[in-house]
């Protein structure tokens, strides 16, 4: 009864590697069922069950039959306390490989995994930073010792680390639009590491800071690579896409792999539907089919490539993405303005923070970002 059992901790970075590697993973999520249904760990070979920790205080009986004997058991909760509590009980029941996921869903939500997408013609490369716990994607473009970051996440350390490891000078920070689902790290990086912060002026009416205006046709040089800005409204009135090295199309929250952007997060669904339609059915259509689309989000693991990256050829999306194949304008309007999923957690506060209007502390920022991104409609 009083034997001490040592349960192990596992960091989300390590867990992410295993998931992207396609390992068989068994996870017991002990948060309350409402939170679990809202947002959970997913992966190709992830088997996850939910039983709130408060149903396991007296005994493990409610889950005993579901626990595997032949593989590790990973336990997760909101912040890491309750998972440790439950993992200890499972270990005491005689299981050998029981892990508590350190920092819980909070840490899961904050982890960024850099994955190389491809090389650039003049040397250098483009990397996707996958925020696997929230489905957010940001990009780092490096060429000839310089770097630019697009749609940076709030956690700036992974970018800083990448920049110092690769001996790069950060010259530009770009946001495709004023984000409503996550806090932008663009300005923070510009202040701390250096570089110019760019934002589309039509999204920046109310911002409280100075920034460089991102206008249609702008060409931003990063070493030998060129980033071309294309005005592509619809998710927001300022939404701007980027063509990088004539190979990659960074679509922001306008076009995803298996869905399209929603026009309502700034309260203007009615006004912006026509813009969204024009961007998707006209502006993008004029671009070459072999551009590789790199979006700012993904919604499910079905959109993920084998290596964990998220990308697809534009031509293929025109064939396969439902949102690009709605012939009737009225039906399109209905799809993107009716029966929308719930809005992202705290999206108004997140917009205000990205405008520089409010300054919540770190703990409040974390709470604001809890949950999935919910920027798309299918």
Partner 1 sequence: MDVTKVLDAKGLACPLPIVRTKKAMDELQSGEVLEVQATDKGAKNDLTAWASSGGHELVSDKEENGVFTFYIKKS
Which sequence positions are flagged as catalytic? 77
Binding of partner 1 at residue 85 (CB under 8 A)? yes
Residue from 7, 40, 82, 98 binding partner 1 (CB under 8 A): 82
| Residue of 22, 68, 81, 123 interacting with partner 1 (CB under 8 A) | 81
Q: Which stretch binds partner 1 (CB under 8 A): 53-61, 118-126, 156-164, 318-326?
A: 53-61
367 binds partner 1 per the rule CB under 8 A: yes
Stretch that binds partner 1, among 51-59, 228-236, 243-251, 288-296 (CB under 8 A): 51-59
Q: What are phi and psi of 264, to 5 degrees?
A: -110, 0
* 234 φψ region: left (φ > 0), alpha (ψ -120 to 50), beta (else): left
Main-chain dihedrals φ then ψ at residue 29, nearest 5 degrees = -95, 120
Judged by CB under 8 A, the residue of 2, 3, 4, 54 near partner 1 is 54
14 part of the interface to partner 1, by CB under 8 A: no
Residue among 181, 187, 178 nearest 206 (CA): 178
Token digits for 212?
A: 């460089």
Question: Is residue 248 at the binding interface for partner 1, with CB under 8 A as the rule?
Answer: no
CA distance 27 to 104: 12
* Least Cβ distance, residue 82 to partner 1 (angstroms): 4
Considering only residues 25, 26, 46, 53, which one is a binding residue for partner 1 as defined by CB under 8 A? 53
User: What are the tokens at 52?
Assistant: 């709130």
Q: How far is the CB of 19 from partner 1 (least distance, A)?
A: 24
Q: Given candidates 77, 147, 220, 375, which one binds partner 1 under the rule CB under 8 A?
A: 77
Considering beta carbons, is residue 105 or 317 the nearer one to partner 1?
105
33 binds partner 1 (CB under 8 A): yes
Q: Is 55 in the site for partner 1 (CB under 8 A)?
A: yes
CA dihedral 307, 309, 310, 316 (to 10 degrees): -50
- 137: contact with partner 1 by CB under 8 A: no
Stated length of the chain: 378
Q: Give the list of residues 6+ apart from residue 167 with CB closer than 8 angstroms, or none.
A: 145
Tokens 């669904």 locate to 269
Stretch that binds partner 1, among 32-40, 152-160, 264-272, 334-342 (CB under 8 A): 32-40
Q: 154-158 long-range CB contacts below 8 Å, 24 or more apart?
A: 154/182, 154/183, 154/184, 154/185, 154/188, 154/365, 154/369, 155/110, 155/112, 155/185, 156/185, 156/188, 156/189, 156/192, 156/193, 158/112, 158/114, 158/129
Among 18, 79, 166, 378, binds partner 1 (CB under 8 A): 79
Please state, as a whole number, how many other Cβ atoms lie within 10 Å of the Cβ of residue 331. 10
Q: Which stretch binds partner 1 (CB under 8 A): 8-16, 75-83, 182-190, 276-284?
A: 75-83
372 binds partner 1 (CB under 8 A): no
Return residues touching partner 1 (CB under 8 A): 32-35, 52-55, 57, 77-79, 81-82, 85, 367
């Amino acid at each position: 009864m009083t034997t001490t059992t040592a349960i192990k901790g596992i960091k989300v970075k390590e867990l992410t590697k295993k998931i992207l590697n396609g390992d068989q993973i068994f996870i017991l999520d002990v948060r309350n069922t409402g939170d679990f249904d809202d947002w959970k760990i997913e992966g190709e070979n992830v088997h996850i069950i939910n039983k709130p920790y408060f149903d396991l205080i007296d005994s493990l009986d409610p889950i005993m039959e579901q626990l595997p004997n032949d593989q590790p058991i990973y336990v997760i909760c909101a912040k890491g306390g309750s998972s440790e509590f439950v993992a200890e009980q499972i270990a005491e029941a005689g299981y050998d490989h029981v892990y508590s996921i350190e920092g819980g869903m909070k840490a899961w939500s904050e982890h960024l995994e850099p994955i190389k997408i491809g090389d650039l013609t003049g040397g250098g490369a483009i990397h996707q930073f996958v925020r696997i716990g929230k489905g957010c994607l940001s990009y780092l473009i490096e060429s000839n010792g310089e770097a630019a970051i697009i749609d940076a996440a709030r956690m700036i350390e992974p970018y800083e680390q990448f920049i110092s490891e690769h001996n790069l000078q950060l010259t530009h920070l770009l946001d495709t639009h004023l984000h409503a689902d996550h806090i932008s790290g663009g300005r923070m990086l510009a202040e701390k590491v250096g570089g110019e912060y760019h934002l589309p002026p039509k999204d920046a009416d109310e911002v409280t800071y100075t920034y460089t205006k991102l206008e249609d046709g702008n060409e931003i040089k990063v070493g030998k690579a060129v980033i071309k800005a294309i005005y592509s409204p619809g998710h927001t009135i300022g939404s701007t896409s980027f063509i990088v090295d004539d190979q990659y199309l960074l679509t922001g929250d306008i076009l995803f792999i298996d869905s399209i952007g929603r026009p309502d997060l700034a309260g203007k669904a009615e006004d912006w539907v026509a813009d969204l339609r024009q961007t998707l059915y006209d502006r993008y259509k004029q671009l070459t089919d072999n551009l590789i689309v790199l979006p700012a989000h993904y919604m499910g693991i079905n959109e993920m490539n084998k290596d964990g990256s998220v990308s697809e050829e534009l031509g293929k999306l025109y064939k396969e993405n439902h949102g690009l194949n709605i012939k009737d304008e009225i039906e399109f309007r209905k799809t993107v303005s009716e029966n929308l999923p719930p809005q992202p957690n705290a999206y108004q506060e997140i917009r205000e923070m990205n405008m520089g209007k409010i300054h919540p502390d770190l703990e409040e920022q974390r709470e604001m970002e809890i949950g999935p991104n919910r920027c798309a409609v299918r």
